[in-house]
Structure 1
Amino acid sequence: MTARPIAENFGHWWVYAAPEYSELHAMPTTAVDPDNPDTVEAFRSEGITAAAVCETTDTWWWPGIISRLYRDRCTACCDRLGIPPGKGAPVNDDTSHTRKDTTA
């Protein structure tokens, strides 16, 4: 149930921009070092301005548990990661645990 950049989340943070967007976006780990507790805490409390995988730049926030489970994922972020769009962070969605075949 995490938004952290673990393997099941395809190595990306899953974040949202409040209040404009209702979707979760994939943010590269280069934006917030998941192994640095100080930068993670700053991200949790202050948000972070960065570009998502879909190239949308905004101030991103750590989603709460309901968002991590039920917010729609950005279709453009999913397409660029090669995963199907769906609801919640990929770790919480059984349909997104494998990448789409993009060789066709």
Structure 2
Amino acid sequence: MHTVYAAADPIEAEILRSYLAEHGIVVQIFGAGIWGGRGDLPVDAWPRLVLDDASQLDDARELLRRYEHRRHAQASWPCSCGERSPIHFEICWACGSERPPA
């Protein structure tokens, strides 16, 4: 068994389990049951995607890399100047314009 991803929460773990399954890669989710105890328990409480078949490791990592790229690429907003700023910026990093309302 190989841990291929530590998800942000149980929902993301389920989304990624389905995403990988669509590509013929079966993973199990470990640790989702103790998610509610994070902070109170002295354990790593992040849900983990665990791969049974080691021959699919490279394919799983590539699919997860694509997921991460899309996730981070969309975490920005477009400015009227043509640049994109990270979603947590209130003003454009390039021209200083305020972020438009959502």
- Report the TM-score when normalising by structure 2: 0.26
Higher helix share: 2
Larger Rg: 2
- Report the TM-score when normalising by structure 1: 0.26
- Name which structure has the greater RCO, CA cutoff 8 Å, separation 6+: 1
